């Protein structure tokens, strides 16, 4: 453990040179004194720091906390360190990550929910105030080397393109010197859209060659740490390792999923009971606590159709394999520290989930998660899923599991991710390992803690004060409180007595063991939400009722009112008000009040542009539009992709096949509408144009496609239906190729670049013809944006 030194570390950056008191004419002057150049280093004894944050994993999932998914690495770290069984997150990913990396409550740091639904309100804007320096930046300005690997879902959507601004990117204003990963809510583990720093890059190999993002990012992290210690062994590092796992899509090599064959045949209700028994035996929950009942909004296993059950079982097998596979690669990273002799002096946080398990797969789970967000999940019938059961988890799938599994993996608590009112959404098992700073081995810590407490703990362990000013800007105080006193004292007083929770109107307040909570909406039932004042509040004494099983609101109305008043005080203090439970209005940037990168009705894309997320490209959904490309065809004829947007799970592509122009509209992977031109392209320069006349009448309707070659009509056809809300949460738009998985079945991933030259492509929205009227009720039903 470090102690503060004599440097003035409260104002960052620190002065890096000192003026000489005496300046002789001649350097050989006997009175000449040479001042050594002072290299920036943290206080002596500052440890290396490794923060591991797993995505979308419930308290009852990992074996380290009694779950069914084997996590031997987590168990080993816990045996040499501490388990925290009352550690909390915010119930949703962007918010937890902003809180973790700043030490501030998520609304206070501008991240009420996810970046895609940001509004103009300060607590909801997704803009990190410059009065809140990120932890990584504070550590870097104190002499740490810093790197991030994996998921970054804190970049405002209008800043997420390859031209920035990069103020909230990891290597921009985030304080990390190196970044390897993806920007956004989730990643295709087989075909990710990757960035190194701020530069878009391609994966080093294909799935057929053995590629998986989990292995790749671990290799990068191992390489970075090895290089850092080779070149600057006297500098500690801060590494933030944040896999996209185990967020959907649940992608894992088949042999890892097969390890769990038959283990979930009894269903999710039985799994809850088994997990609950293991948790008591393990001691991570009290022996006298109750298993909360399954809510009526979660179907019972016996209520599920028999024809669905084989697929449902396989969904859970795939997820379990995914979590064990993830833990395995975390183990590779830990083994590297062991082999280099670094483990004893590395403070490791292993936070198993940025929120509870996700119920965004809805009642039946899905083969293509985007079908849920586009209102097409009814098409994923038992027959459809059964035909694809062997592909779940593989490169062709984009899968998620059913809500029943999510609920079971949050055992023993109520509800799931997004439900910030209850512990099922917010309580995540956490392990802390630091042999040099923690004497205890294999002990349990029961103090109430929150993700905002991690940053001040790390600063205290490093002997670095909370900065007063950074870059000349006065800093707001950190909201978190250090957990360090609990490291070596199991009976240390609770450092955190009060904590609010809120996401989309689901809200709660914790104070000295009491919780007052209200679930405002159910994530997988997009019905109209009640008025905020009509929400029903519950009251729990968690000092006696560990799982929030006994509602005392009717017995103790005065205590409930006291807690409700405290929620309003905390909500006012931390920018939670005004509460905002809107969905459709927040998806639309115009009504949400956030900027958009692309303005107007046209966008010109240059040849070679790529990795463009949907927020970086003119939206052509639910409206008439055109795509015009200027291309040069080589001798021998044209082949390959001119422009594509989306992936094999949905999107569109304009390309050449057999010398002719083709347009493919991929309707969620359910059907491909392909229209081909009649003329073979001669060598030379041509203009290729696709016009889409939208049929109108609501969202997701079809339309007529007309192809033009050098201004002359060359083909036409019908597209029966379109995707209303989203093509892909990961695969973007590429000019001159189709990166990632392939939109059209006519070509393969990774081998589809246009063989000539694409000089430019213009996207244009037709003048409003009144056909594409958006019904808000219809939009709300389908617009369950990426959570």
Q: Quick: pLDDT tens for 699-751.
A: 999 999 999 999 999 999 999 999 999 999 888 999 999 999 999 999 999 89
Rounded to a whole number of angstroms, the distance between the first and last alpha carbons of the chain is 38
Query: Would you say 222 and 332 are in contact if contact means Cβ atoms under 8 Å apart?
Result: yes
Give the closest residue to 430 by CA, choosing from 729, 2, 78.
78
**Phi/psi-derived region of residue 38, left when phi > 0, alpha when psi is between -120 and 50, beta in every other case:** beta
Average pLDDT for the chain: 94
SS3 of residue 103 by DSSP:
coil
Query: Would you say 9 and 464 are in contact if contact means Cβ atoms under 8 Å apart?
Result: yes
Q: Quick: pLDDT tens for 36-84.
A: 888 999 999 999 999 999 999 999 999 999 999 999 999 999 999 999 9
- pLDDT above 50 (res 774): no
- pLDDT above 70 (res 145): yes
Residues with Cβ within 8 Å of 211's Cβ and at least 6 positions away in sequence, in order, are 190, 203, 204, 205
Residues with Cβ within 8 Å of 694's Cβ and at least 6 positions away in sequence, in order, are 622, 623, 624, 625, 701, 703, 722, 771, 772
Q: Quick: pLDDT tens for 383-433.
A: 999 999 999 999 999 999 999 999 999 999 999 999 999 999 999 999 999
Confidence of residue 2 (pLDDT cuts 50, 70, 90): low
- pLDDT score recorded for residue 589: 86
Residues with Cβ within 8 Å of 596's Cβ and at least 6 positions away in sequence, in order, are 158, 589, 615
SS3 of residue 649 by DSSP:
coil
Q: How far apart are CA 74 and CA 78, in angstroms?
A: 6
Residue 63 is encoded by which pair of tokens?
């074996």
- pLDDT score recorded for residue 585: 86
- pLDDT score recorded for residue 461: 98
- pLDDT above 90 (res 658): yes
- pLDDT above 80 (res 557): yes
- pLDDT above 50 (res 778): no
Mean pLDDT, rounded, for 272-291? 98
- pLDDT above 80 (res 785): no
- Characterize the bridge pairing of strands 473-474 and 469-470: antiparallel
3-state secondary structure 465-519: CCCCEECCEECCCCCCCCCHHHHCCCCCCCCCCEEEEEECCEEEEEECCEEEEEC
Mean pLDDT, rounded, for 110-117? 96
Q: How far apart are CA 94 and CA 111, in angstroms?
A: 7
Q: How far apart are CA 52 and CA 242, in angstroms?
A: 6
Q: Quick: pLDDT tens for 467-517.
A: 999 999 999 999 999 999 999 999 999 999 999 999 999 999 999 999 999
- pLDDT above 60 (res 773): no
- pLDDT score recorded for residue 670: 96
- pLDDT score recorded for residue 768: 61
Q: Quick: pLDDT tens for 601-631.
A: 999 999 999 999 999 999 999 999 999 999 9
Query: Does the CA dihedral 482-483-487-489 come out positive or negative?
Result: positive
Predicted structure pTM score: 0.95
Residue 745 is encoded by which pair of tokens?
């079945």
Strand order in the sheet with 757-765: 602-606, 757-765, 625-633, 684-694, 703-709, 712-719
- pLDDT score recorded for residue 784: 37
SS3 of residue 131 by DSSP:
coil
Q: How far apart are CA 422 and CA 415, in angstroms?
A: 7
- pLDDT score recorded for residue 111: 98
Confidence of residue 779 (pLDDT cuts 50, 70, 90): very low
Mean pLDDT, rounded, for 225-242? 97
Q: Quick: pLDDT tens for 325-360.
A: 999 999 999 999 999 999 999 999 999 999 999 999
Mean pLDDT, rounded, for 566-587? 94
Confidence of residue 20 (pLDDT cuts 50, 70, 90): confident
- pLDDT above 60 (res 787): no
Q: How far apart are CA 186 and CA 369, in angstroms?
A: 11
Confidence of residue 1 (pLDDT cuts 50, 70, 90): low
- pLDDT above 90 (res 781): no
- pLDDT score recorded for residue 18: 83
Mean pLDDT, rounded, for 504-533? 94
- pLDDT score recorded for residue 88: 98
Residue 150 is encoded by which pair of tokens?
């994996």
- pLDDT above 80 (res 776): no
Question: Distances in Å between the alpha carbon of 549 and those of 44, 163, 539?
Answer: 48, 50, 10
Strand order in the sheet with 199-201: 199-201, 194-196, 178-183, 145-152, 237-242, 48-53, 346-351, 430-433, 82-84, 443-445
CA 111 to chain centre: 13
Q: How far apart are CA 214 and CA 182, in angstroms?
A: 12
- Strands in 303-442 per DSSP E: 346-351, 430-433
SS3 of residue 406 by DSSP:
helix
- pLDDT score recorded for residue 319: 98
Q: Quick: pLDDT tens for 304-327.
A: 999 999 999 999 999 999 999 999
């Amino acid at each position: 453990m470090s102690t503060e030194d004599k440097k003035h570390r409260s104002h960052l950056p620190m002065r890096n040179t000192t003026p000489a008191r005496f300046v002789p004419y001649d350097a050989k002057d006997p009175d000449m004194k040479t001042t050594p150049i002072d290299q920036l280093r943290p206080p002596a004894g500052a440890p290396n720091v490794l923060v591991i944050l797993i995505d979308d994993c419930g308290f009852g999932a990992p074996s380290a906390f009694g779950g069914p998914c084997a996590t031997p690495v987590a168990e080993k770290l816990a045996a040499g360190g501490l388990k925290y069984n009352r550690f909390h997150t915010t119930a949703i990913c962007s918010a937890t990550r902003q809180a973790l990396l700043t030490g501030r409550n998520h609304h206070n740091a501008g991240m009420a929910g996810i970046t895609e639904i940001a509004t103009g309100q300060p607590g909801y804007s997704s803009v990190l105030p410059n009065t809140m320096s990120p932890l990584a930046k504070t550590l870097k300005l104190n002499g740490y080397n810093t790197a991030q690997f994996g998921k970054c879902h804190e970049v405002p959507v209008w800043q997420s393109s390859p031209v920035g601004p990069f103020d909230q990117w990891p290597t921009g204003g985030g304080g990390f010197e190196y970044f390897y990963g993806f920007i956004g809510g989730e990643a295709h583990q087989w075909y990710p859209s990757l960035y190194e720093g701020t530069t878009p890059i391609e994966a080093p190999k294909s799935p057929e060659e053995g590629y998986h993002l989990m292995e790749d990012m671990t290799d990068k992290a191992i390489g970075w740490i090895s290089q850092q210690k080779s070149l600057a062994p006297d500098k500690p590092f801060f590494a933030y390792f944040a896999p996209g796992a185990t967020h959907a899509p649940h992608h894992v090599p088949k042999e890892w999923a097969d390890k769990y064959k038959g283990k979930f045949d009894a269903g999710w209700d039985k799994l809850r009971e088994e997990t609950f028994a293991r948790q008591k035996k393990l001691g991570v929950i009290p022996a006298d606590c109750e298993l909360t009942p399954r809510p009526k909004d979660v179907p019972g296993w016996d209520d599920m159709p028999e024809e669905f059950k084989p697929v449902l079982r396989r969904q859970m097998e795939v997820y379990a394999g995914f979590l064990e596979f993830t833990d395995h690669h975390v183990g590779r990273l830990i083994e590297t520290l062991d082999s280099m002799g670094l483990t004893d002096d590395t403070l490791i946080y292993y936070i198993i989930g940025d929120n509870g398990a996700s119920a965004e797969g809805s009642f039946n789970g899905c083969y293509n998660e985007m079908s849920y967000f586009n209102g097409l999940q009814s098409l994923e019938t038992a027959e459809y899923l059964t035909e694809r059961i062997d592909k779940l988890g593989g490169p062709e799938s984009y899968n998620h599991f059913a809500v029943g599994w999510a609920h079971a993996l949050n055992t023993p608590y109520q509800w799931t991710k997004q439900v910030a009112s209850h512990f099922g959404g917010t309580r995540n098992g956490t392990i802390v390992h630091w042999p040099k700073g923690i004497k205890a081995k294999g002990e349990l810590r029961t103090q109430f803690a929150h993700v905002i407490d991690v940053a001040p703990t790390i600063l205290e362990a490093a002997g670095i004060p909370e900065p007063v000013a950074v870059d000349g800007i006065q800093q707001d105080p950190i909201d978190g409180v250090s957990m360090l006193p609990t490291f070596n004292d199991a009976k240390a007083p609770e450092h955190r007595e009060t904590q609010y929770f809120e996401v989309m109107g689901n809200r709660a307040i914790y104070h000295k063991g009491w919780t007052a909570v209200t679930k405002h909406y159910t994530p997988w039932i997009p019905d109209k939400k009640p008025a905020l004042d009509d929400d029903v509040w519950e009251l729990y004494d968690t000092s006696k009722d560990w799982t929030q099983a006994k509602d005392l609101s009717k017995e103790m109305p005065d205590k409930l009112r006291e807690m409700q008043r405290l929620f309003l005080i905390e909500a006012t203090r931390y920018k939670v008000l005004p509460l905002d439970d809107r969905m459709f209005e927040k998806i639309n940037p115009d009504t949400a009040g956030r900027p958009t990168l692309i303005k107007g009705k046209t966008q010109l894309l240059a040849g070679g542009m790529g990795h463009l997320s949907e927020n970086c490209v003119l939206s052509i959904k639910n409206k008439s539009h055109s795509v015009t490309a200027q291309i040069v065809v080589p001798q021998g004829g044209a082949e390959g992709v001119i422009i594509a947007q989306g992936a094999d799970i949905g999107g569109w592509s304009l390309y050449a096949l057999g010398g002719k122009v083709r347009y493919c509209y991929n309707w969620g992977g359910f059907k491909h509408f392909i229209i081909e031109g009649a003329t073979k392209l001669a060598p030379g320069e041509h203009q290729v144009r696709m016009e889409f006349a939208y049929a109108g009448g609501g969202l997701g309707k079809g339309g007529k496609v007309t192809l033009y070659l050098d201004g002359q009509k060359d083909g036409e056809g019908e597209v029966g239906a379109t995707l209303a809300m989203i093509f892909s949460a990961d695969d973007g738009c590429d000019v001159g190729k189709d990166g990632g998985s392939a939109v059209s079945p006519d070509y393969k991933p990774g081998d589809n670049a246009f063989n000539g030259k694409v000089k430019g492509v213009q996207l244009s929205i037709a003048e409003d013809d009144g056909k594409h009227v958006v019904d808000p009720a219809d939009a709300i039903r389908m617009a369950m944006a990426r959570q």
